[in-house]
Amino acid sequence: MQEGTVAFLQMVKIAAAVKLSKRAGLPYLGYLRNPTTGGVFASWGSLGHVTVAEPGVLIGFLGPRVYELLYGEPFPSDIQTAENLQRHGVIDAIVTLDGLQLTLNRALTMIADVPKLIPTPQRPEPIPDVPAWNSVMGSRRPERPSVAQVLRHGATDRVLLSGPGHGEAATTLLALARLAGQTAVVIGQQRKDGGNRPVSG
């Protein structure tokens, strides 16, 4: 922003270019390092299919020095950190440089995967006519596999992503995964038992 209006407006062009790239089916991954602020964070730094960050880095639109000049007090600590933004679902994961290659390889492989054609069943399976409440109770059975168990035992590859934040992360699992050779976005609820503890898995 300090570079002037022309530089500021480039964010729109960069974001539009990223959108066109993603629309063409090209993977777009982000790795945020220290510091990621201003126009970078407000545009292309936040648009990845998967966005991860180095541990402990400063991330935010308004840098701490600018904030202090505007408001006359230091920016609250532990707000503009990668760890806090992951807790709130802004970024997907904290990844060290050593672990970056594996994370990017998994994500690229799944995002760029060409879906296989699934054969159409010859005839649809009949849907049993059961009371709706029976279906609800059936979904709550403690022995029913959790979404984490399905991923652990059924997925050949997976990349865990952050949820929308604000407390949902403890009860919702979001991931890219390959199941039976097909890449999918997996969203599942982490069920809890009567004692308000997560069901095993």
**What pLDDT sits at residue 90?**
87
Q: How many domains does the chain have?
A: 2
**What pLDDT sits at residue 17?**
93
Same domain, residue pair 96 and 8: yes
**What pLDDT sits at residue 136?**
86
The domain spanning residue 79 has which CATH number? Answer: 3.90.226.10
How far apart are the C-alpha atoms of 193 and 74, rounded to whole Å?
Answer: 43
**What pLDDT sits at residue 1?**
53
The whole domain housing 49 covers 3-112
**What pLDDT sits at residue 154?**
86
Same domain, residue pair 150 and 90: no
**What pLDDT sits at residue 200?**
36
**What pLDDT sits at residue 157?**
84
**What pLDDT sits at residue 31?**
94
Same domain, residue pair 105 and 147: no
DSSP 3-state of 11: helix
Domain final residue pick, 112, 131, 162: 112
Pairing, β 172-179 against β 93-94: unpaired
**What pLDDT sits at residue 42?**
85
DSSP 3-state of 92: coil
Could you report the average pLDDT of every consecutive run of 10 residues in the chain (201 residues)?
Answer: 74 91 89 90 88 92 84 86 88 92 88 73 78 87 84 85 59 83 83 47 37
Residue 174 main-chain phi, psi, to 5 deg: -125, 130
Same domain, residue pair 72 and 33: yes
**What pLDDT sits at residue 144?**
84
In this structure, is residue 132 part of a structural domain? no
DSSP for 118-182, written as a single string: PPPPSSPPPPP---HHHHHHHHT-TTSPPHHHHHHHHEEEEEEE----TTGGGTEEEEEEEETTE
How far apart are the C-alpha atoms of 6 and 189, rounded to whole Å?
Answer: 45
pTM over the 0.85 mark: no
Q: Residue 19: how many CA atoms within 13 Å on its side-chain side?
A: 7
Place of tokens 């009371």: 131
